[in-house]
A and B are shown apart, each in its own frame.
Chain A
Amino acid sequence: GNSVTQMEGPVTLSEEAFLTINCTYTATGYPSLFWYVQYPGEGLQLLLKATKADDKGSNKGFEATYRKETTSFHLEKGSVQVSDSAVYFCALRGWGKFQFGAGTQVVVTP
């Protein structure tokens, strides 16, 4: 079946540092790929998505490119802020089913 693997956290960074969170997937067919963010005590919010190979999703300074050849969808941000501290989830959707990664906690310090 489909699955998602993402790097373990926590990832601790200083403000304005570069952030990368690795995500790889296993899937049959052509899934859509997502990054979600969860702030403490809240539900998940969609951060960005890509629906086909080489698509780049972007939002709020975050980017991720759908790489079919490496089955990856790494999340990047060039300059993080303290407000980016949260848990980030990589996910894929095949038809109506979603699979999520285990989540990566990101802590940004001033």
Chain B
Amino acid sequence: EAQVTQNPRYLITVTGKKLTVTCSQNMNHEYMSWYRQDPGLGLRQIYYSMNVEVTDKGDVPEGYKVSRKEKRNFPLILESPSPNQTSLYFCASSPDIYRQGINQPQHFGDGTRLSIL
């Protein structure tokens, strides 16, 4: 089954304790991306990766890091989490940006709800 898998699904942690949210896709997709969803703000892109060689910042990259060492994985790292990073996070992937469409959409994971106290 084609899917984007995020772990953990839920996490409550404390300020300053480093954490990693993993994201893995089994569709051999080139493009991967991380978003956060907050009430009234919609989704905001944190980082995106066009392929294993190209990764760039989205609109809200501060406080986050990513790596794309291999095509299938795109972990999101919070080196020193703060309460303003409490949010619902989504990872997504697609074949490549030029082929995104109804037949080859951006696939979203089920989300990771982070609470940082």
Contacts and interface: CB of A to CB of B under 8 A. Distances in A.
A42 interface: yes
A96 B50 contact: yes
A45 B108 CA distance: 7
A94 to B, nearest CB: 10
Interface residues of B, number: 28
Interface residues of A, number: 23
B108 A97 contact: no
B45 A49 contact: no
B100 A49 contact: yes
A34 to B, nearest CB: 8
Contacts of A48: 102
Interface string B26-69: 00000101010000111111001010001010110000000000
Residue of B41, B48, B106, B110 with most chain A CB atoms under a 10 A cut-off:
B106
Interface string B76-117: 000000000000001010000100111001101111000000
Residue of B31, B92, B108 with most chain A CB atoms under a 10 A cut-off:
B108
Contact of B111 (A43, A91, A96, A99): A43
A100 to B, nearest CB: 4
A43 B97 contact: no
Contacts of A97: 45, 48, 56, 58-59
A101 B58 contact: no
Nearest to B31: A96
B45 A98 contact: yes
Interface of A: 1, 4, 32, 42-46, 48-49, 59, 89, 91, 93, 95-103
Interface of B: 4, 31, 33, 35, 40-45, 48, 50, 54, 56, 58-59, 90, 92, 97, 100-102, 105-106, 108-111
17 contacts: A4-B42, A42-B110, A43-B4, A44-B43, A44-B108, A45-B105, A46-B101, A46-B106, A49-B102, A89-B42, A93-B100, A95-B97, A96-B31, A96-B48, A96-B97, A98-B48, A100-B43
